[in-house]
Amino acid sequence: MIKETLEKIMEISGVKGVEAITKDGLVIEKLFYESETSDVLGAMVAKINREMEMSIGRSTNELPIFSTIYTDKHEVLFISKEKFIIVVLAEKNVNIGALIIQIKSIASALQPHI
């Protein structure tokens, strides 16, 4: 169920991978073209998210934190809900607007299942 839902994000052109992780960085489900990146990325995103929550407040299902990190090679997007985080790694040429909408909708859809 979670895998099928995450696959909808993978359908967007330019997306290199998506994963759902716990707030501690443990992988719940992942779909990555290059699997070696995914574990480290998940752990790193969990760390960034923890710092953000310490600074701006804990994310909840009603008030999630959505972040986008733009680097010179990639774009890392993640949404932090109460119990999980969805992380997406995308190329620079991705349609970022469409991707953001899809991530938000997928996160809401996954909420009751995690």
Partner 1 sequence: MRVDRDSVSLLVALAEDFYNNDSFIESINYCNMILSQFPDLKDAEVLLLKCFRKLNDESSFKPLLEKLLKAYPDDKAVLDAAGMLQKEAKAAEVKNPSPAEEPAEQKKSAPAAEAKRFEEPKTEVRQDIQSSAVLSANETENLLDSALEEINRINGVLGSIIIEESGLIIRSKVIENLDPEITAALFSTIFNVSEDSISKVNLGMIDRVFIEIGKVRIYLFKGNGYILGIFTEEIVKIGLILIKAKQLLKNIKQVLE
**Which residues bind to partner 1, rule: CB under 8 A?**
37, 40-41, 44-45, 47-48, 51-52, 55-57, 59, 63-74, 76, 89
Whether the Cβ atoms of residue 71 and residue 101 lie closer than 8 Å to each other: no
CA atoms within 13 A on the CB side of 26: 4
For residues 79 and 103, the answer to whether their CB atoms sit within 8 Å is: yes
CB of 1 to partner 1, least distance (A): 27
What minimum distance in Å lies between the beta carbon of 74 and partner 1? 5
Nearer to partner 1 by Cβ, of 58 and 113: the residue is 58
Q: How large is the greatest C-alpha to C-alpha distance in the chain, in angstroms? A: 35
Q: Which is nearer to partner 1, 40 or 98 (CB)?
A: 40
